[in-house]
Amino acid sequence: MDSTIENKTITLLDQGYVELQEMMGNDLAIVNAARVSYLGESKGDESDEKLLNYLMKNKHTSPFEMVQFKFRIKCPLFVARQWQRHRTWHYMSVNEVSRRYTSEKIDFYMPEQWRLQHESSKQASEGVADTELQTFCQESLNEVVNHAVAVYNYMIDNGVAREQARMLLPQNIYTTFICSVDAHNLLHFLLLRRHQHAQYEIRVYADAIWSHFFKPLLPWTAIAAEKYLFSNELD
């Protein structure tokens, strides 16, 4: 049972990242949590993996809550607010950078391409803008960001309170936060945010967590999730 990863920090988008800071537990911890119901112990890899698959197939979710992840995330503000909708991420105890306390290190997300609004879905995109519109959108965003930063810095330099000056900063500003989640609720997050209908920017983070952290660290659970939880949901 492999439970190691080569890189604990994965860079994403243009200036973002996801960093695994801590992890508690492994596939065996899930199995042992299930077997404690009748004071049982590990019976070897083959039997243990079989039990884990049984738990996933039959939606016995509490043993999967025995594994905990803690991440440090740098992402655009609008991605963080989507993330915040998943209250099971222990988000009430999250620590996030606050522009009330600091005016340093301001980064902005600049997309590589601009997508078009989906014709039938109010919350989705579909296809990309033509070259002329791409150029207009990129130049306009650059102009907005540069103007916002210039006015913001002027306000800060002249003594305006950070808690008010921050209102000038657009939603593509990067924010950084730390949060934790158990394996069961992380799987639910991944099920929703790796879906093709999820916004591209948050999907990038979900895909990275799945590929670089979840699968290498919980290989049995990942195989069971692909078989019984995800199946065709990501198609």
DSSP letter for each residue of 141-183: HHHHHHHHHHHHHHHHHTT--HHHHGGGS-TTBEEEEEEEEEH
Name the residue among 211, 153, 206 with its Cα closest to residue 181.
206
Whole-angstrom Cα distance, residue 185 to residue 232? 19
Q: What contacts 224, CB < 8 A, 6 or more positions away?
A: 52, 53, 55, 56, 57
Indicate if 193 belongs to the active site: yes
- Cα–Cα separations (whole angstroms), residue 59 to 24, 69, 198, 224: 22, 21, 24, 11
Angle at which helices 45-57 and 27-35 pack, to 10 degrees? 80
- Cα–Cα separations (whole angstroms), residue 220 to 8, 21, 181, 192, 199: 20, 22, 19, 21, 28
Given the residues 72, 85, 162, 193, select the one marked as catalytic. 193
Whole-angstrom Cα distance, residue 167 to residue 139? 22
The catalytic site residues sit at 193
